[in-house]
Structure 1
Amino acid sequence: MLRTFLSVDMVGSTLFKARYNGEGSHGWLETFRTFFTNFPLMFAGQIGFEFLDNEDSTPAFDVWKVMGDEVIFVIEPGTAEELTSVLCALLRTMKLFEQRHFQELPLRLKGTAWIADFNGHNIELDIPELSASESARHVDYIGPDIDLGFRLSKYARPASLTLSFDVVDILLGATNADSIALYLVGREPLKGVMFERPYPIIWMRQADEEFDFLPWEIEQCGMMAAAIAAQPTPRAALQGAITDMRHYLRKMHGIIRPAFRIEGHG
């Protein structure tokens, strides 16, 4: 069984909390309460909009964790096309939320998406002590694929999604792949992940939108500066980066990491 994890995190939240440590609606508490309350509702609305013409296939999602300044969703799209649509809905939600709630605040949102395989490589745990009832289970997820996502999120930036190469591999086979643009912006070692071989950092935006980076963000981040000046990375280059990682794992460590396939894909 495959599950897709979607992380949305606030950028600039630590400084914001220190600077706006007031009482009531004028402090940071109300801003965070609004994010954790309203963002999931807005995301649900955008998913509904994305699947308006085919409501029967609308994938359900759950909030898995709320950690500090971050909310993490878990979802099980049934096809590569559904996964593409879900990611587009997430990007739109991030943009709309910023426009509605962060216009006068020094905050932005960044996102990460990755996939975990629960057919042996990772495990799902019921935690009865944290369950509200027998029908409302508290589930936790543990394993190397989960670790990968948390490490990868370090390279997420505003106005885009950072994707694991497993996600990218699936998106490249989607019939609606032309609705997104993908950028290979570098390679970085992820602590404790894949023997710390530099991992491809791939960003996604919607094909009909530009990267909405702010001038000072571009000045401070070489990856952002390179991405805004570049064209989307060709499909062959993306596939080559993915193939290289899988070849390295097989050749150097005897690990076969096949491509993930969700129902209806491939």
Structure 2
Amino acid sequence: MVRLFLSVDMAGSTQFKARFTDGGSWLDTFRTFFTNFPLMLAGQVGFAFLEEGETPSVEVWKVMGDEVIFVATPASAEELVNLLLALLRTMNAYEERYLEDLPLRLKGTAWLADFAGPNIELEIPELSGGESVRAIDFIGPDLDLGFRVTKFARPACLTLSLDVADLVLTADNAGQVALHLIGAEELKGVMFGRPYPILWMLEAGEDFNFMPWEVEQCPHMARATGMPPTPASDIERAIANIRLYLRKMHGVQRPRLELGPPTA
């Protein structure tokens, strides 16, 4: 089984909280985020699958500091694209409604983990409350990679792992999104030190909504500003090159992940 993990983090939260000596001055902002964002995401997911026979479940996996991480199990590449769009739309809507006059922004990351492979799901007995309430954790190299990829996350877009982008390109509704290959950068403990491609996703037809000072401070954002979507062939080539490097230099096979129930 392949699961999708969706991380949403508050950019600028540390400086924002440091403004106040009284925690109550910023507490409501974050209480609202952790309460309302999951509800808004559920609404966007429902809307995205309004004409489908079934709406996939998107649940909160864990909260870490100012970050909330959701988990879902898309059954197809088309479901994957719809879930990514729902998350991106929720981020944009939440910023417009709650963060318009605050120095805070949302940044998101999406990655996949294969639980028929090297990753495991385990129950935490101390946190569980019987069969009705089970505390589940997920551990493995795909989870580690996902948390590393969040380093590339920036406001106003979704950062995708290579596995996610690979499947997005195969989806019948891939035309609803635009992928931008921004560059590559080494991630600690990932790909044996080979630079990992930085992939950002927007809704098709949309531009990067960066603030002027964000562009000034980040070369990746500066490069993305005004950048057209990257041709699918260029992204496919980048993914193929990574697979070739892993196989040729390290004997590691990294085929495209398969969504849906396991095949016999």
Please give the range of the TM-score, normalised by the shorter of the 2 chains: over 0.9
Q: Find the residue that maps to 2:222 and give its secondary structure.
A: helix
CA distance in 1, matches of 2:122, 2:257: 22
Aligned length: 261
1:177 and 2:187 matched: no
Aligned pair in 2 of structure 1 residues 41, 250: CA closer, same or farther (>3 Å)?
same
1:157 Cα deviation after fit: 0.3
CA distance in 2, matches of 1:226, 1:73: 29
1:167 aligned partner: 164
8 Å Cα contact 1:165/1:242 also seen in 2: yes
Cα deviations by residue, 1:23-75 (Å, 9 ceiling, x for unpaired): 54xx1111111101100000000001111112x32110110010000000000
Shifted more, 241-250 versus 133-142: the winner is 133-142
Q: Report the TM-score when normalising by structure 1.
A: 0.96
8 Å Cα contact 1:3/1:76 also seen in 2: yes
Superposed, 1:70-89 pairs within 5 Å as 70-89=67-86
Q: Report the TM-score when normalising by structure 2.
A: 0.96
8 Å Cα contact 2:110/2:146 also seen in 1: yes
1:130 aligned partner: 127
Q: Find the residue that maps to 2:7 and give its secondary structure.
A: strand
CA distance in 1, matches of 2:228, 2:90: 24
> Which residue of 102, 105, 111 maps to 2:102?
105
> Which residue of 244, 252, 256 maps to 1:255?
252
Alignment gaps of 5+ in structure 1:
none
Question: Runs in 1 of length 4+ with deviation above 2 angstroms?
Answer: 20-24
Superposed, 1:10-159 pairs within 5 Å as 10-22=10-22, 24=24, 27-54=25-52, 56-159=53-156
8 Å Cα contact 2:2/2:260 also seen in 1: no
Aligned pair in 2 of structure 1 residues 142, 23: CA closer, same or farther (>3 Å)?
closer
Identity rate of aligned residues, in percent? 62
8 Å Cα contact 1:217/1:224 also seen in 2: yes
Cα deviations by residue, 1:201-258 (Å, 9 ceiling, x for unpaired): 1000001321111111111111111111211111110000001111111001101111
CA distance in 2, matches of 1:61, 1:259: 23
CA distance in 2, matches of 1:197, 1:8: 26
Superposed, 1:210-249 pairs within 5 Å as 210-249=207-246
8 Å Cα contact 1:63/1:73 also seen in 2: yes
